[in-house]
């Protein structure tokens, strides 16, 4: 049973959001085309990142909690993780967009964005030699800049709210992953600051602080693709109607 631990965590992560996807109010299943496109492209990047960091010894997986099947030198459960967790994150975002459509606080979102940028600049500036800290920080820094200056997404308020709410289930799932531990981090490549959400380990285990920003980066990239695809569809559906009216 212990060998199934990571797999069970993956299944439990996606089970609730998947079942609730057919709720008529949010009707998340209607957006599956955009959901899985977003997950596919961002997960490819993250899986490549995962393969490289595993090979470099930035982190490793404990075989005691794995079924023993590998894919591209990663445990199969880790590949499944990059479907289950992103799906759950997008589901949270979609629910917030549906139930809180007027939650638009662009000024606050921009201020929060710049606060994170300053925090990243300081942390990475003093810890550029720690690969997990530096790579996560740099990618997130430029992704946030893209959201503020280039795409000018009006959904940033929902992104940050989704991230904050998503921290709750993250603390449970990642708590088990890092406290048992299933996923073992090399502390020389991170800040060494651990968040202990479950009483399962000694102080050297727990969730690295970088994981929270790693998750924010994932959500930002995924939601950006998700919203871009959905908006293109709306434009495609509206344009023929507009053309027909202009020619009448």
Tokens of 73: 């030198």
Would residue 237 count as lying in a domain? no
Would residue 65 count as lying in a domain? yes
Would residue 236 count as lying in a domain? no
Would residue 59 count as lying in a domain? yes
Would residue 46 count as lying in a domain? yes
How does pLDDT run along the chain (248 residues), one tens digit per residue? Answer: 899 999 999 999 999 999 999 998 999 999 999 999 999 999 999 999 999 999 999 999 999 999 999 998 999 999 999 999 999 999 999 999 999 999 988 899 999 999 999 999 999 999 999 999 999 999 999 999 999 988 776 899 999 999 999 999 999 999 999 999 999 999 999 999 999 988 876 667 899 999 999 999 999 999 999 999 887 765 555 555 455 554 44
Which segments within 3-162 are labelled E, that is strand?
59-61, 70-71, 74-75
Would residue 240 count as lying in a domain? no
Would residue 244 count as lying in a domain? no
Closest CA to 162 of 217, 96, 112: 96
Identify the pLDDT of residue 240.
Answer: 53
Tokens of 119: 């925090």
**62, 184 Cβ separation under 8 angstroms:** yes
Closest CA to 49 of 78, 91, 22: 78
Domain count across the chain = 1
Would residue 243 count as lying in a domain? no
Strand partners, 183: 61
**94, 118 Cβ separation under 8 angstroms:** no
* Residue 56 structural domain: 2-231
């Amino acid at each position: 049973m212990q060998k199934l631990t990571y797999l069970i965590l993956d299944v439990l992560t996606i089970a609730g959001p998947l079942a609730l996807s057919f709720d008529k109010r949010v009707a998340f299943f209607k957006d599956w085309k955009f959901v899985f496109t977003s997950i596919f492209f961002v997960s490819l990047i993250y899986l490549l990142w995962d393969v490289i960091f595993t090979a470099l010894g930035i982190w490793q997986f404990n075989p005691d909690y794995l079924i023993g099947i590998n894919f591209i030198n990663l445990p199969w459960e880790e590949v499944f993780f990059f479907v289950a967790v992103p799906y759950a994150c997008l589901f949270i975002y979609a629910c917030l967009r549906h139930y809180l459509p007027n939650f638009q606080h662009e000024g606050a979102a921009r201020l929060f964005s710049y606060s994170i940028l300053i925090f990243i600049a300081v942390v990475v500036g003093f810890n550029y030699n720690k690969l997990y800290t530096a790579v996560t920080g740099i990618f997130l820094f430029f992704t946030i800049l893209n959201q503020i200056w280039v795409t000018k997404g009006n959904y940033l308020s929902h992104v940050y709210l989704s991230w904050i709410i998503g921290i709750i289930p993250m603390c449970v799932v990642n708590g088990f992953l890092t406290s048992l531990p299933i996923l073992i981090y090399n502390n020389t490549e991170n800040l060494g600051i651990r968040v202990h959400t479950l009483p399962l380990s000694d102080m050297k285990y727990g969730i690295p602080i970088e994981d929270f920003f790693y998750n924010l980066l994932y959500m930002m990239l995924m939601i950006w693709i998700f919203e871009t695809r959905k908006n293109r569809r709306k434009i495609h559906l509206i344009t023929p109607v507009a053309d027909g009216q202009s020619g009448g």
